[in-house]
């Protein structure tokens, strides 16, 4: 199981990095072509935007895994360990429920855009391909919430619960 988690973590990191860095690289290329060579490429803005968004959405599960989400822990810090544990269980359950709804409705969005045949304006990419990141990122996020929930229930303190 540790090997699977290691490879899963590596895959998350690679996907997040590749999409985010390629999006930023395309933005740099677009600026260079527009302002230095006076030869703007209309497709660059659209593809770079999708790449950055995909990188961010893949990064949701990475941020949860590394405990980098925004937290307000003023009340949490004064709770007893037992109440902290209950709060963590509740927060993870809410996260799991959110992910389930997110996956369900994003799958419906992908399905409806596939049926309608919508395409992007500049490049003509089918929109369902662009939107498919939503159920994928929701699933990755769900897996991390389930992992945190199990660790909290088992009282495995491999991460700081204060940011939930």
Please determine, for residue 23, whether its predicted confidence score (pLDDT) is greater than 90. yes
**What global pTM score does this model have?**
0.82
> How many C-beta neighbours within 10 Å does residue 36 have?
8
Residue 163 pLDDT class (50, 70, 90 cuts): very low
Query: Domain tally for the chain?
Result: 1
Please determine, for residue 129, whether its predicted confidence score (pLDDT) is greater than 90. yes
Residue 99: which domain range? 2-163
Residue with tokens 């209309």: 42
The residues, ordered by sequence, that sit 6+ positions from 158 with a Cβ below 8 Å of its Cβ are 151
d(CA 24, CA 30): 10
């Amino acid at each position: 199981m540790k090997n699977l988690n290691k490879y899963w973590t590596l895959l998350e990191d690679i996907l997040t990095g590749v999409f985010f860095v390629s999006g930023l690289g395309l933005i740099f290329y677009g600026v260079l072509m527009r302002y230095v060579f006076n030869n703007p490429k209309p497709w660059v803005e659209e593809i770079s935007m999708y790449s950055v968004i995909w990188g961010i959405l893949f990064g949701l599960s990475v941020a949860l895994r590394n405990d980098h989400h925004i937290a307000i822990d003023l009340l949490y810090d004064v709770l007893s360990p037992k109440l902290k544990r209950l709060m963590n269980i509740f927060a993870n359950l809410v996260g799991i429920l959110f992910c389930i709804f997110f996956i369900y409705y994003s799958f419906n969005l992908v399905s409806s855009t596939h049926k309608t045949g919508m395409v992007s304006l500049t490049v003509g990419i089918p929109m369902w391909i662009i939107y498919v990141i939503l159920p994928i990122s929701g699933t990755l996020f769900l897996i991390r919430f389930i992992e945190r929930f199990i660790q909290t229930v088992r009282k495995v303190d491999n991460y700081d619960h204060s940011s939930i």
